[in-house]
Amino acid sequence: MASTQPPPPLNIPLSHHTVNVSIIDTTSHMSGFPTNTFMHPQIGSFTKISVGSYSFLIRHPTNTSKHATLLFDLGVRKDWRENCPTTFVQGIERSGYIITVEKDVATILTENGVSLTDIGGIIWSHWHFDHVGDPGRFPPTTDLIVGPGFKRHFVPAFPTVPESHVDERAWAGRQLCEVDFDDANEEFGKRLQIGKFQALDFYGDGSFYLLNTPGHTVGHISVLARTTVEPPTFIFLGGDIAHHGGEFRPTNYNPLPQEIAPHPLRHRLPMVPPSCPGEMFVAMHPKKSRKEPFFDPTPAEGGWHFCAAEATRSIEKMTEFDAWQNIFPVIAHDESLRGVVKFFPAGANEWKVKGWKEKSFWGFLAEFAREVV
């Protein structure tokens, strides 16, 4: 039996403050993108990804600043074909990739009674099309908050720079705020270290931390949101720190168990038993390992990562958070969460008592259904 390494200390400060988190299904869907442009090695018939994209509504119950209500990421803008940067649209059309969007996040919010004037800030985990949405749907009082190095690399952008994949119209007429994890006077919170990540205490009360998670892109950031006080629980909003659960599971902290329950293929195949032997998946693991992730970020030229080595380091740091049962990592494109979590307008703060982490933990293994049946 694979032994489990104890979780490492993360040194998260104590706090009696939380934020209310909702996971928004942005209705964005992307298919046809080769898996080997995100992660490697290729495993069997899992050669293309088919994923949605999540946004997150963050509401601080007592903070009175303009940033008391935030969004983290926006998915794909509904009119991407007409209004995304020209070179990006042309590239998608040449590739044959399929992108569909039913509604943008602004519409989803207003249909559920949230006024767009209440949104004080939009945090982009990074600049890719499936996260930036359409900030122009929000009033000019809504700030756009980006990670370190964004302005140096992407300002000016499209249409001033025709070949840019970043659209400067996103911040036209609004504040473009770049966080700095090295500045002692950073306006977005006190500097500290949580686990191995540089962090900023955004509200100053320990309820919501920005984390420096570079690698996938310049200035990629993630979030650690405190969801309950006693016992303390957190949601780790990963953005694209990883694109698949197989990039950060299994590990020494969370080895593949002898028996996996619930059965990860339960949504793919009828009449499966409640559990399955872990050995099924060890056998098709590239390293035949119970304690190493199935994938690494691809370093291949033409892939989606700015620096695959740095992306790998960020993932390794995140596995220390995933080692704790009171921390729930939610990456932007995790399809294994569907059928487990409740989306906005429902809240996500009770994820622990509802068992969302346990129910979805090995769900990513469903991608390997053809290899094990």
- Span 96-138, pLDDT tens digits: 999 999 999 999 999 999 999 999 999 999 999 999 999 999 9
Positive or negative CA dihedral for 370, 296, 72, 102?
negative
The CA distance from 312 to 242, in Å, is 9
Give percent of the chain with pLDDT exceeding 70. Answer: 99
In the structure, what pLDDT confidence band is assigned to residue 1 with cuts at 50, 70 and 90? Answer: very low
Which residues are CB-neighbours of 251 under 8 A, at least 6 positions away? 5, 291, 292, 293, 319, 322, 323
The CA distance from 221 to 240, in Å, is 9
Least confident span in 192-196, 221-225, 247-251, 298-302: 298-302
The CA distance from 177 to 144, in Å, is 6
- Taking domain 20-372, whether its CATH number is 3.60.15.10 is answered by yes
pLDDT tens column, 211-257? 999 999 999 999 999 999 999 999 999 999 999 999 999 999 999 99
Q: Are 191 and 198 in contact (CB under 8 A)?
A: yes
Q: Are 287 and 295 in contact (CB under 8 A)?
A: no
| Cβ burial, residue 90 (10 Å; 0-12/13-18/19+) | exposed
**Amino acid 267: pLDDT:** 78
Q: What is the mean pLDDT of residues 353-366?
A: 97
Long-range Cβ contact pairs of 6-9 (< 8 A, separation 24 or more): 6/253, 7/253, 7/320, 7/323, 7/324, 8/195, 8/320, 8/323
In the structure, what pLDDT confidence band is assigned to residue 2 with cuts at 50, 70 and 90? Answer: low
- Considering 4-8, 79-83, 367-371, the range whose residues carry the highest mean pLDDT is 79-83
CA distances from residue 300 to 35, 107, 241, 307, 314 in whole angstroms, order as listed = 12, 37, 17, 10, 18
Instruction: Assess whether pLDDT exceeds 90 at residue 351.
Output: yes
The CA distance from 320 to 249, in Å, is 11
Instruction: Assess whether pLDDT exceeds 80 at residue 3.
Output: no
AA identity, residue 359: K
Mean pLDDT of the chain: 96
Q: What is the mean pLDDT of residues 15-44?
A: 98
Q: What is the mean pLDDT of residues 54-69?
A: 98
pTM: 0.96
Q: What is the mean pLDDT of residues 50-59?
A: 98
Q: What is the mean pLDDT of residues 4-29?
A: 97
**Rounded to 5 degrees, what angle do the CA atoms 345, 81, 117 make?**
35
Instruction: Assess whether pLDDT exceeds 90 at residue 296.
Output: yes
Instruction: Assess whether pLDDT exceeds 50 at residue 317.
Output: yes
Q: What is the mean pLDDT of residues 332-346?
A: 98
In the structure, what pLDDT confidence band is assigned to residue 189 with cuts at 50, 70 and 90? Answer: confident
The CA distance from 268 to 339, in Å, is 12
